[in-house]
Amino acid sequence: MGKPNAYDDIPGTTVFDAQRSRQGYHLNMFCMSLMKAENRTAFKANEGAYLDRFPMTGEQKQAVLARDWNRMISLGGNIYYLAKLFFNDQKSFQYVAAIMTGSSQEEYAAMMLKGGRPPEGNRYKKDWKKKRG
Amino acid sequence: MSHVPAIGAALDNGKSGEPYWKKVFDGFERSKEWIREVKPDVILLVYNDHAVAFSLDIIPTFALGCAAEFPVADEGWGPRPVPKVIGHPELAAHIAQSVILDEFDLTVVNKMEVDHGLTVPLSLMYGQPKAWPCPVIPLAVNVVVYPPPTAHRCYQLGRAIRKAIRSYEEDLRVVVFGTGGMSHQLQGPRAGFINSKFDRRFLNLMTKDPKALTRITHLELLRETGSEGIELVMWLIMRGALDEKVREVHRFYHVPASNTAVGHLILENVK
């Protein structure tokens, strides 16, 4: 990876830049393949075998099988590509967002109804370190 | 204006009357009236594709749809039940030629499916017609792979588009949609991020001082509006296509629609 970027100090955030787009190319293209019905059927029949059609890393395949969304993001996944996978699982953006934040569906929905996660205390990594002691 | 996919799904599945969604749709009642009165001949719709028409194989920064029509994409759950989008190839070709000679090296696209980024704003403005009332020229902007074009570049492209439309041989009434945003983050432990204060300031400046917005950096957008809020740069293309002095016809701001702050502004040239 290249030198650190200014946006690396935003907490809980992975910016999908050119490096990550390269790292996640096959993972994301696998997700995109699920836009075709025949591929969805093949994936459903045998997820592992279908994943082997793509030259992804073992870690990326494991993260997909475990539906570990944060892990997929850290391995180069992009949320708009991952959406093809969670739509295929009949899940919504909000469902997956709740999981990625470590909250229950109810907690997350309630937070959004109250106006969302506020900027105060969520701008810099140091804000989160303070909070978590 | 916003393009949240769940807004489209709420409309398509007959849920627009439910209290959660009604609050969103009510904000567009005035807008529907307005566009019925204005009756555009053509809509130039600035939006972003969400890994549907474009994959990681080809990532054009600005892609202008010059086709005669644009089928509605199947994004994984079947195409949205909305009419196909009819283009305006003559005006689109004229815009392409004009802005490229003005040094904006955009990509010309003659075959493209369009996703919710384009169809949800049309649904918000027109409801559920059998056919869209006028042709639409899609302008797809990359905001998926960082970096998107800068706010300043978007504003300047808007200026070039304005010049192109003005120089077209036929006198057409063109409405420009700038879509996306407002603050939201869909990924990672910071998902759900909303910054209403920033959004409201953005709306104010859109009307009164868009040049101030052209100085906003990507870092500020990422930090202050969330990783997906950066798509607000697309609004600046619309703003650049208008006169410097505009009249604000309508404004609507609401949190939340799913994970997102919904913002909507109708601006008209004063004269």
Residues of B in contact with A112 (CB under 8 A): 192, 194, 255-256, 258-259
**Measured at the alpha carbon of residue A106, what is the angle toward residues A104 and A107, in degrees to the nearest 5?**
65
pTM comes to: 0.96
pLDDT of residue B157: 98
pLDDT digits 0-9 by tens, B120-143: 999 999 999 999 999 999 999 999
> Tens place of pLDDT for every residue, chain A, 133 residues?
567 899 999 999 999 999 999 999 999 999 999 999 999 999 999 999 999 999 999 999 999 999 999 999 999 999 999 999 999 999 999 999 999 999 999 999 999 999 999 999 999 999 998 876 5
Residue B202 has pLDDT above 80, yes or no: yes
pLDDT at B14 (0 to 100): 94
Active-site residue, from B94, B184, B254, B264: B184
DSSP A66: T
Number of alpha carbons in the 13 Å side-chain half-sphere of residue B55: 16
pLDDT at B187 exceeding the cut of 60: yes
Q: Is A39 on the interface with B (CB under 8 A)?
A: no
3-state class (DSSP) for residue B139: strand
Ramachandran category for residue B258: left, alpha or beta (phi over 0 → left; psi -120 to 50 → alpha) = left
- Give the pLDDT of residue B77: 78
- Write phi, then psi, for A40 (nearest 5 degrees): -60, -40
Query: Which positions 87-126 of A are in contact with B (Cβ < 8 Å)?
Result: 87-88, 92-94, 97-98, 100-102, 108, 111-113, 115-119, 122-124
In chain B, the percentage of residues whose pLDDT exceeds 90 is 95
Q: Is A106 exposed, middle or buried (0-12, 13-18, 19+ CB in 10 A)?
A: exposed
Euclidean distance between the first and the last CA atom of chain A, given in angstroms as a whole number: 30
Residue of A nearest to B73 (CA): A35
Angstrom distance (rounded) from CA A112 to CA B185: 12
Task: Read off the amino acid at residue A89.
Answer: D
**How far out from the chain centre does Cα B48 lie?**
7
Measured between CB atoms, does A62 come within 8 Å of chain B? no
Query: E strand or H helix at B47, and its extent?
Result: strand B42-47
Q: What is the 3-state secondary structure (H, E, C) of B51-86?
A: CCCCCCCCCCCEEEECCCEECECECCCCECCCCCEE
Direct distance between the N- and C-terminal alpha carbons of chain B, in angstroms, rounded to an integer: 23
Q: Do A79 and B5 touch (CB under 8 A)?
A: no
One-character DSSP codes across B157-197 = HHHHHHHHHHTSSS---EEEEE---SSB--SSTTTTB--HH
